[in-house]
Structure 1
């Protein structure tokens, strides 16, 4: 199989995906974009009732299937309360720290289709008025949105069409540096989504017959815990979540290699399948790190909790500052793309009776 890695195309696709707001629960636009991408490349797919997308490539063995998944939903927020002051109180979508979005520009997506700009701030931001504001806790009681419209009362806010339950998305601020770093919010997990889309495009262009029928599942509810735990064909034996590697003190993962997860907060991943990924990386000369993510769950672990009988594993690009202003390097994206190819053309592991 020819190399399916194209740095320029991958980064351009990633930029496009990241530009579309898609906090969990507000993913229609991004899933439509993914559907349009697949259709333009001649790839058939179906949508689930939850709005996820599954595209399938028939393989030489149609009795045992593989499934690879990435998720395109992101962190975000909802309007919890319209304050008498004309400011908005928020409630989180997904797990992040309030200080990670303090000072960030945002968009309020109203039910009537308007997009209203704003800034996420501490109520006590003005240092000339609020002494000691820097020591105040960053939480839902102090964080609020200042909208960029003339609004000083709750009635003013509602006149613009804003209401409780409206989604709020954070500006991603996508940037690729000359040194190869990719900086943006929502690299988790649109980086992996871009890699799977590029992989599907390459398979279609090269008319590749894979050894096993392989499904590509783009989920849209992972950040709230249940994106890829249903609509899994019963023939699926191996289930791979392609998601970010967690970087920090005590972690092996970095921004330059593919991270293979041995265990996360849900427990160990399938031992033999994980070791197979390690062997493939070694024999293919792919730079990798084997790691444990202490506060993490994936669509693969969600599938296991749902009772799906599969061997599950997890790997993906290393992402610095997860659930904040994230960063990775093109080397990590390339290593992940290479391991994806090595995996889908390899034989399945043989389990002893």
Structure 2
């Protein structure tokens, strides 16, 4: 029997809808395929019925919901603002007006506590912090000045290490965490978001080769980031050691605000100390095994010593939140004698 006009139209409509769905799925999958697991992507993709964006930090917006692409390519929900996690600010946050002529970089290797320090700075000063990146999770949860890089923000987050990356800045704050802790924190972030964790089995996949490769790649980035800023940046540098920040938030914030040339608001500072935890500090989680082998710890320590010796060598133009750093380093490492060329570095076979 010949098909009726109504039946024919229904089939055409069904085929058309299937074709549209196929095209949407193809665009979505092609966008995901351009992300390198375990690495940062600077590419931005748009598409889909509600629109999606994959930003530099592998965050993915699909319609109104936000996700992150994990190390293994899986999709992880990103922390969203809700009543239980809503931040309480010590004062109404604002942009610097008029904008400062001095733009200060907040430099760190990923996983060093940059977001937590930005939170503390905003609490203690009432001024937005900016970033050269855009992280949608942060944008919706207390950091509306993502992607703002001018003098209207008090500091600008960056992980970059190059002449182009340094060029916009007059001052630099280097947030420095021990490389083993920073690398593991970044591994956790890429696997579970800003406050999540990598599952224990992720360290052991492919007999631990993926984890080893991650450590090899990132210890080199850790070293390059700090060496570049220490030796090539000509402006004033203030170093914040993460462990000292944890031990004494008030002392660290006072030194940082003074370095920025800002007056200290005692009420805001006290409030920042009382609310120091916020929602962006990852709590410790103890693994029942050490993910770092003896060999890994040896070359990580070697790279840390190299960077610390460079800090010591440039001590005449550096301030830090650890007043005893230079004395302790000189006492513990007399063999360096300011000669950074005598320190061995990681070989390709490490």
Higher helix share: 2
Q: TM-score category by the smaller chain? A: under 0.3
Task: Give TM-score scaled by structure 2 length.
Answer: 0.23
Q: Which has the higher contact order (CA 8 A, sep 6+)?
A: 1
Bigger CA radius of gyration: 2
Task: Give TM-score scaled by structure 1 length.
Answer: 0.23
Higher strand share: 1
